[in-house]
Structure 1
């Protein structure tokens, strides 16, 4: 049996800290609506400036990574499962609001995590 260097959690934590390029078409805030039993994904538009920062298209100001930001979502997507939500975003919404493959892969992983939390009744916090 091949032994991994570090636990799966350590590997995942290390990979979560890597540099990623931001999707110029926007970002998602993912959360659960426990009462409706839905995975929700609010999409927000942005512009990537010459420094690689996400900028609010309305104000021209950088969007902070941490803390509360008062912005209006451009779209709200919901699904009962990760697959249903992915179909709504990637297949039924054209043009697609996701333009980078690594962003699509990240969303798929997050939607599965959210689905598991919904099934188990546990807390979901977006990575």
Structure 2
């Protein structure tokens, strides 16, 4: 059976539309610094309210999923590869900031995508 890139992209696009439970341990904003050759992951804390929405622990306001949000990160991680970032976040940081396995899997996928974009020069947009 031949793998068709468009078919694989369609599967990923469809899966990206599903509902996910938010991690009470917080969330990460991932971006590249091409000049430094690094992938960055900023960690932000949040509280999950009774509706399942992420809320700013300081203001109690819902954190929007889209658009610009003015918040201060708690930690910034950087690495040259996805593996280096995963070791820093999941093995070296105690207690671990990620409390759900699906969130850990998502971050691993995103770090690989970011690494590939860094290596190939392609644009990286966090899913």
TM-score (norm: length of structure 1): 0.95
Name the SS for the 1:103 alignment partner: helix
Q: How many corresponding residue pairs?
A: 126
Give 1:22-37 correspondences, 5 Å limit: 22-37=22-37
1:120 corresponds in structure 2 to 120
1:94 corresponds to 2:90: no
Name the SS for the 1:78 alignment partner: strand
Q: Structure 1: state its 5+ residue gaps.
A: none
Name the SS for the 1:123 alignment partner: coil
Distance 1:65 1:105 in 2: 19
Q: CA deviation at 1:121?
A: 1.2
Runs of 4+ aligned residues of structure 1 deviating over 6 Å after TM superposition are none
2:53 corresponds in structure 1 to 53
Give 1:70-89 correspondences, 5 Å limit: 70-89=70-89
Q: Structure 2: state its 5+ residue gaps.
A: none
Give RMSD over aligned pairs. 1.4
Name the SS for the 2:65 alignment partner: coil
Q: CA deviation at 1:36?
A: 0.7
Q: C-alpha offsets along residues 26-46 of structure 1, whole Å, 9 cap, x if unaligned?
A: 000000011110000000000
Name the SS for the 1:102 alignment partner: helix
Q: C-alpha offsets along residues 58-116 of structure 1, whole Å, 9 cap, x if unaligned?
A: 00000011110000000000000000000000000000000000000000000000000
Q: CA deviation at 1:3?
A: 7.9
Distance 1:9 1:111 in 2: 17
